Amino acid sequence: MKHIVVLSGAGVSAESGLKTFRDADGLWEGHNVMDVATPEGFAKNPELVLTFYNERRKQLLNAKPNSAHYDLAALEKQYKVTIITQNVDDLHERAGSTNVLHLHGELLKARSVDNHEILPWDTDIKLGDLCAKGHQIRPHIVWFGEAVPMIDPAIDVCKTADILIIVGTSMQVYPAAGLKDYVPDGTPIFYIDPNPAKIYDKHINTIKEKASTGMKTVIKALSSQ
């Protein structure tokens, strides 16, 4: 089986009603990303940050996968598929994808500020929620300025790609955006985004569409390969 590697970003969940990060004047749900997605923001105003992610978690629990998530999951009938997602939602999993690597953490998990034991978490996190050792619980999210522990496994996955599909990402955030450089030379790359970043690589087939329709275009192209 050929190995399809998918690099997904916020745009794949946009049609499920979850807002992207950079489509609205640099504000994310009305907040400056730096206030709610950095360790400094958390140190300055932990209540704001916890409330912000509590809202995102509630929103996620009411959202549903869209046809792009389902089409990506269905690729597993014919291909080995690994999804590397920058998203903290679980919509790929809920659509049926079985092999999903979360680069930037997961909204439905939490950990304490002091250690990295990851706990399943589907309710609000409040100031005063403590781990067994007495440290505050925080969302299991990789904030700006923090290490990205899953980047090495993601690089290894990319090295074994036969086909790369990039979908719904502005390709602005590293190290995620650099993953495309690890696929073997000559690997066909499809990049689906209604407002794609300019990437100079002759192997990239840019599909300027939303994730839902763009996935149909990719599936058609794959069937004629």
As annotated, the binding site includes 9-28, 53, 56, 86-89, 168-170, 211
- Does 16 interact with ligand APR (rule: CB under 6 A)? no
**Smallest gap, in angstroms, from Cβ of residue 130 to ligand APR?**
26
- Does 92 interact with ligand APR (rule: CB under 6 A)? no
- Does 148 interact with ligand APR (rule: CB under 6 A)? no
Measured from the CB atom, is 10 or 95 closer to ligand APR? 10
Query: Contact region for ligand APR (CB under 6 A) — 4-12, 90-98, 107-115, 132-140?
Result: 4-12
Buried b (16+ CB within 10 A) or exposed e, 133-165: eeebbbbbbbbeeeebebbeebeebbeebebbb
Q: Which of 69, 92, 102, 104 is catalytic?
A: 104
- Does 10 interact with ligand APR (rule: CB under 6 A)? yes
**Residue choice 32, 98, 115, 195 for contact with ligand APR (CB under 6 A):** 195
**Residue choice 6, 18, 21, 151 for contact with ligand APR (CB under 6 A):** 21
Q: State which of positions 117-136 bind ligand APR (CB under 6 A).
A: none
What is the token pair recorded at 44?
Answer: 């300055």
203 is catalytic: no
What letter represents residue 144's amino acid?
Answer: F
Per DSSP, helices labelled H in the chain are 33-36, 39-44, 46-61, 67-74, 91-95, 151-158, 211-223
Measured from the CB atom, is 55 or 184 closer to ligand APR? 55
Q: Which of 85, 72, 84 is nearest to 222 (CA)?
A: 72
Residues annotated as binding site for substrate? 53, 56
Residues 6+ apart with CB under 8 A from 136: 46, 112, 113, 127, 128, 129, 130
Q: How far apart are CA 154 and CA 36, in angstroms?
A: 25
- Does 29 interact with ligand APR (rule: CB under 6 A)? no
* Cβ atoms of 4 and 219 closer than 8 Å: no
Q: How far apart are CA 44 and CA 42, in angstroms?
A: 5
- Does 20 interact with ligand APR (rule: CB under 6 A)? yes
**Residue choice 22, 31, 94, 109 for contact with ligand APR (CB under 6 A):** 22
- Does 23 interact with ligand APR (rule: CB under 6 A)? yes
Taking residue 51's Cβ as centre, other Cβ atoms within 10 Å add up to 16
| Gyration radius from the chain CA atoms | 18
Give the active site residues: 104
Binding residues for ligand APR (CB under 6 A): 9-11, 14-15, 20-23, 33, 37, 86, 104, 168-170, 172-173, 193-195, 210-211
